[in-house]
Amino acid sequence: MRLRLTLTQRLSLVFAVLLLVCSGASAWIQLRASRMHELEVVQGLSRGVAESIAREAQLTDAHGLNPDAVRHLFSQLMMVNPSVEVYLLEPDGRIAGHAAPAGRLRRDRVDLAPVHRLLGGGALPILGDDPRSAEGRKVFSAAPLRVQGREVGYIYVVLLGEAHDRLVAQGSASNVLTTALWSIGLVALLCLAAGLVAFTLITRPLRRLTEEVARFDIHGVPPELPQPQPGATQDSRDEIAVLRSAYRQMVERIGAQWKELMRQDQERRELIANVSHDLRTPLSSLHGYLETLLLKDAVLDAPERRRYLGIAIDQSRKVGELVQSLFELARLEYGFVQPEPEPFSLVDLVQDVFQKFELRAEARRIALQAAFPPQLPTVEADLGMIERVLGNLLDNALRHVPEGGAVRIALAPSASGAAVEVTVSDTGPGIPAELRAGLFQRAFILGGARRDGGLGLRIVHRILELHGSSIALVDIPGQGASFRFGLAVAGRR
């Protein structure tokens, strides 16, 4: 079964294991250092023991080394220092004499490399072979033996012999070891307690952040996050503070995006309702006149039949225009259409658009006016899209301007000179203040008539967005509804 631990518990567990390993390593290092220091002190104090023996004791005769003298000397030294063991070595390191009981020797030769290093003044402690152990090494003292100036061997004194080992094995040093272990254990326990407290304090902000994340619900209202203290600055070196700040920004952004999605969804619902309403009227009229033609075909004369067919065709044209506008808006909204900028003259484009609406304006005695300053720079945009923008604005104006009114298009360079501003205004009733909010996102009713479900202005708004521009409703004295947008001058994008 897998344990499920919190971050604080995992950190504490890892810290406890690391502390245990470090404490064990520290204990081993301390004991080893203490042991090596003890050996260094013992060897340093007894370094001249072998030389004194070689100088004072008579261990050689005319024939060379005298093993019996070693046994006699050993019995004397045991009375002074029971831990030392004395050996006579031949020049090649072979043991020539000793006072060990029978069968206690485990070597017949001693490695002379440590002996030469000691005699050469090497750094202590220096460990040499223990003749009474097959693998053991101990501190020692050594000195050469000479007969008539000729080197005949060495005195080799093991400073901590079997008697010392037996005393250590009986636990004479257990108090020191126990004290050291208790000290290390107490320090480790204190460090563990301090570490647990530290981890609890360190992870407290992370736990708070975890609680905030757990309370977050994308389908509901984003949680209210506590605001930072006034004047508080964020420490960029504190990773948890940086993470908390990033989470706050994420929550705020998701909340704003969620509200925007809800708003767009509401607008989509309104658009569907508006389009359904606008389609219902011409479709019902179209169906009614076609049904009349079918039922009364035998009694209708030719003029009446043509009038009914004309009305049906006119309603069919309205349905087609509305469907085309809806299809065009969908393509613009979903990025299926992208502008292809090219330089062109706005003056020429406005004149072309005026020609398309000239007959319609004359029929209602509406004047089409234009204001063009001299030497107006060319603009860079998608010619077809901008023509659609002007056409939609003119169509919208002509539908709401009363007979005898006027529609005016004014062109002027912007204050920075980087764009040309286009203003389309009319002498109609204008748009009330309560309908201006969301004018380019939802349908509006003006004078009791709904205009294409608001699709015309939405298409204009989206086209200008694709050009990096925007449209706004402005107030001009003496005018009704006035719309203004800007287009970049060629070469200044």
Q: Which of 12-26, 77-91, 394-408 has the highest mean pLDDT?
A: 394-408
Contact between residue 453 and residue 443 where contact means Cβ atoms under 8 Å apart:
yes
Residue 403, CA distances (Å) to 329, 370, 395, 475 in order: 30, 19, 14, 22
Q: Which fold has domain 12-177?
A: Beta-Lactamase (3.30.450)
Q: How far is CA 98 from CA 87, 126, 269, 419, in A?
A: 5, 22, 111, 113
Q: Quick one: tokens of 263?
A: 């708003």
CA atoms within 13 A on the CB side of 447: 9
> Does residue 344 contact residue 378 with C-beta atoms inside 8 Å?
yes
Structure tokens belonging to residue 267: 């607008």
| Euclidean distance between CA atoms 209 and 387, whole angstroms | 54
Question: How wide is the angle at C-alpha 144 spanned by C-alphas 140 and 150, nearest 5°?
Answer: 165
387-424 burial, b at 16+ Cβ within 10 Å, e below that, comes to bbbbbbbbbbbbbbbeeebbbbbbbebeeeeebbebbb
The first and second tokens of residue 46, run together, are 């007894």
- Mean pLDDT over 140-158 rounds to 82
- Return the residue matching tokens 């929550």: 251
**Domain-wise residue ranges, the chain:** 12-177, 239-332, 338-488
pLDDT at 70: 65
Mean pLDDT for the chain overall: 79
Q: Does domain 338-488 have CATH number 3.30.1780.10?
A: no
pLDDT grade, residue 424 (50/70/90)?
Answer: very high
- The CATH class for the domain spanning 239-332 reads mainly alpha
Burial of 353 (0-12, 13-18, 19+ CB in 10 A): buried
- The pLDDT assigned to 438 comes to 64
pLDDT in tens, 176-207: 667 767 777 787 788 878 877 877 777 777 77
- What is the band of 289 on the pLDDT scale with cuts at 50, 70, 90? confident
What pTM value is reported for the model?
A: 0.48
The pLDDT value recorded for residue 252 is 83
Rounded Cα distance, 197 and 203, in Å: 10
What secondary structure does DSSP assign to 132-177, as a single string? TSSS-EEEEEEEEEEETTEEEEEEEEESS-HHHHHHHHTTTTHHHH
The pLDDT value given to residue 219: 55
pLDDT (tens digit per residue) in 239-263 = 777 877 888 888 888 888 888 888 7
d(CA 198, CA 192): 10
When pLDDT is cut at 50, 70 and 90, the band that residue 305 belongs to is confident
pLDDT at 355 over 90: yes
Cis peptide before 125 (omega within 30 of 0): yes
Nearest-5° angle of CA 127, CA 133, CA 135?
65
Nearest to 423 by CA among 372, 364, 488: 372
